[in-house]
Amino acid sequence: MAAINTMEKKLAEYKCDTNEAICMKLVRFPEDVEDDSTTFHPEFSHQVYGDDEVAFGYKGLQIQLFYTAGNLSTLFKVKYSSKVTETFDCVEPDDIEGKIREIIPAGFTCNSDDFISLLEKEANFQPFGTLLHTYTVHSEDAGELTYQIHKVDVNCAGFHDYHKRLQTFLMWFIETASFIDADDDRWDFFLVFEKYNKDGETLYATVGYMTVYNYYVYPDKTRPRVSQMLILPPFQGEGHGAQLLEAVHRFYCSLPKVQDITAEDPSESYVKLRDYVLVKLCQGLPSFTADKLPLGFSADMAKEAQDKLKINKKHARRVYEILRLRATDMSDEDKAREYRLEVKKRLFGPYRKNQREMAKMKKCLRPEELLSHVDQMDTQTQHEELEKSYQVVVEDYRRIIERIATHA
């Protein structure tokens, strides 16, 4: 038994956390390749290396996935200090390289010098598609930086291969990501680029992107549905996601055939970002003025949000709640109570559904079966859960209000 434990300990030395082992870069200059400060790591690697996100068989494992900043030409290298087969017979290491090769498209290089030579071609890279929006972000290090948002369709020359490289980032930064069929012409692509200077030339770096699928709505409308959205890690926290979402929303608002704009299985962070953008867009609408907010969510609000901004009723209701919170003096007990009841009325929907289900159960279940469901539907528990939900919602709303005030 002791010998087995000793062997397990020795083999454990050959296990590596794949989130730490994978080293990624967006390279602009040759010196970036050896600069550790430009390295970032995945948030997830379970879709490639399994749920435990562990690779076995190597000490000091480093999986390099470096990309040129614009065209995303790729360097893929695996480095390690020792391999398990050098010490133990009949113990096979994981196929580290094979799993990466399954997700990155052909055309990458495994040679650092060849990769650095590809940087010289970055001056030829130009953003794909049609320019939708230009904006600037102030950087303490670099001053005013300029960014562009472009709309691209699948037929744009060179885009297909570029997109194959771009979408590999999804596997590392979106928990349940999957690659899409980019040949379907119902897909729209929106890309964000940074303009930067290198040796007196203007170059472009890839910042992030969004994919949107256009569904048919009877009889003559479409419903754009956001499928994937990613701002690459070196650019996160700088407001690019809000700029991208707002530009995309304004684009679809300009199309008369669009019914409304939705998202497929949105993450919590995406919902918060969408709330922020939609509040920015709606706050100037006549039906959402401060004097009308205390009167409750109205049909006029739903209609105006739908007609002018392609916002569906569900999302318009959240916008109303945020704007009403901003306009409400929560230190006034009566006004605070009115607001709390208004929000809880919406949140109570699932609990009301449970009550209807309970009524049905009483008609068809035996007493002992009914008893097993009663605890789940206890009224006191419902009230407690409702209050918790309300507090979480209001806290999220306050953050959005603060962000809008900061960027006003």
Number of residues written out for the chain: 408
CA distances from 344 to 278, 297, 314, 320 (A): 21, 13, 15, 14
The active-site residue out of 31, 120, 264, 387 is 264
The verdict on whether omega for the bond into residue 286 sits within 30 degrees of 0, i.e. cis, is no
Distance (Å, whole) CA 53 – CA 47: 9
Q: In what order do the strands lie in the sheet with 22-27?
A: 22-27, 62-68, 74-79
The Cα-based distances of 81 to 58, 84, 91 in angstroms read: 7, 10, 17
User: Helices 313-327 & 299-309, crossing angle to 10 degrees?
Assistant: 110
Alpha helices in 207-298 (DSSP H): 240-253, 268-282
Distance CA 352, CA 358 (A): 10
3-class SS shares of the chain: helix, strand, coil, % to 5 = 50, 25, 30
DSSP state of 94: P
Closest C-alpha among 47, 56, 42 to residue 96:
56
Q: d(Cα 106, Cα 212) in Å, to the nearest integer?
A: 26
Q: Which two tokens stand for residue 362?
A: 């009483």
- 264 catalytic? Reply is yes
Give the CA dihedral 288, 262, 185, 205, nearest 10 degrees: 80
Under a CB-based contact definition with an 8 Å cutoff, are residues 319 and 275 in contact?
Answer: yes
d(CA 31, CA 54): 30
Active site residues: 264
